[in-house]
């Protein structure tokens, strides 16, 4: 396209593209890869509904950006889901973690650390390193807004 007189250079190219236009510009294979990864994460999250120690919401949170890059319709479906949608929206908007999830996370880390020490019986240096990582993770989780 030719530039009209008096129009600043590059003004047409500097307009923000719509999400649909951005997806069309992205390669078909890249969109397909993001879609497959998102579907895989949703499938793992679905398994987590039935397996007690496998987190569901974590995998759905990871699926959101995959669907944002491949299928806005599936992203919207996740955000509007009656069971998981509110938690996903809270995470997206405020980085919030519900109190029951904080409790479950910290309890899981404590139990996992206890099982690790009992089953592996590591030396004190490894024990301290693992404990430091878990304390850092627990602190991060507890400092998230509720």
Q: How far apart are CA 92 and CA 95, in angstroms?
A: 6
| 8 A C-beta contact, residue 138 and residue 106 | yes
Reduced to 3 states, what is the DSSP secondary structure of residue 13?
coil
Written as tens digits, the pLDDT of the chain (146 aa) is 445 555 555 555 556 666 655 555 668 888 999 999 999 999 999 998 898 777 888 899 999 999 999 999 999 999 999 998 998 998 889 988 888 888 888 998 999 999 999 999 999 999 999 999 999 999 999 999 98
Q: How many Å apart are CA 102 and CA 96, to the nearest integer?
A: 10
Record the pTM.
0.65
């Amino acid at each position: 396209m030719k530039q009209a007189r008096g129009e600043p250079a590059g003004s047409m190219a500097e307009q923000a593209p719509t999400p649909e236009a951005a997806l069309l510009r992205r390669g078909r294979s890249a969109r397909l890869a993001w879609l497959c990864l998102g579907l895989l994460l949703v499938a793992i999250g679905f398994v987590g509904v039935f397996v007690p120690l496998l987190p569901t919401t974590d995998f759905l949170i990871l699926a959101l950006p995959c669907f944002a890059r491949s299928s806005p319709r599936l992203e919207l479906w996740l955000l509007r889901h009656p069971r998981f949608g509110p938690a996903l929206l809270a995470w997206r908007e405020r980085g919030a973690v519900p109190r029951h999830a904080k409790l479950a996370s910290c309890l899981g880390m404590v139990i996992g650390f206890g099982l690790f020490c009992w089953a592996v019986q590591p030396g004190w240096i490894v024990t301290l390193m693992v404990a430091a990582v878990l304390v850092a993770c627990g602190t991060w989780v507890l400092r998230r807004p509720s």
